[in-house]
Amino acid sequence: MTEQQLSLSTESAAPEKPAPARPTVSLGARLVHAVGTGNLSLIGALAVIVAIFGWLNPGYLDPKNLAGIGEAVTVFGLLAVVQTVVIICGALDISVGSQAGVASVVSAMAFTSASGNAFVGILAAVGVGLVLGLVNGVIIVYGRVNPVIATLATLAAYKGVAQLISGGKAQGFVLDNDVFIFLARGKIAGLPVPVLILALVALAVHCLLKYTDIGRNIYAIGGNDTAARLSGININKYLIAVYVLAGAVAAIAGIILTARTGSGQPVSGSEGLELKAITAAALGGCALKGGKGTVGGTLLAVVLLGALDNGLNVVGVNTFWQNVAQGSLLVAAVVIQQRRSGERAVGLPT
Average pLDDT by stretches of 10, the chain with 350 residues? 52 54 56 61 88 89 87 92 95 93 93 88 95 96 94 94 88 86 89 93 95 94 91 93 96 94 80 87 88 92 90 82 78 73 58
CA-CA distance, 95 to 269, in Å (whole number)? Answer: 14
What is the spatial distance between Cα 176 and Cα 197, in angstroms, rounded to a whole number?
Answer: 21
Helix boundaries (H) for 231-272 = 235-261
On whether residue 318 sits in a domain, the answer given is no
Structural domain for 187, as ranges: 76-307
Number of structural domains (the chain) is 1
Separation CA 246–CA 242 (nearest Å): 6
pLDDT attached to residue 2: 55
Which runs of consecutive H residues, i.e. helices, occur in the chain?
A: 3-13, 27-35, 37-56, 63-72, 74-88, 96-113, 118-142, 147-166, 178-185, 193-211, 213-223, 225-230, 235-261, 273-283, 295-314, 320-341
> Does residue 343 lie within any of the structural domains?
no
Q: Is 341 a member of any domain?
A: no
Q: How far apart are the first and last CA of the chain?
A: 70
317 in any annotated domain = no
Considering the domain boundaries, does residue 159 fall inside one? yes
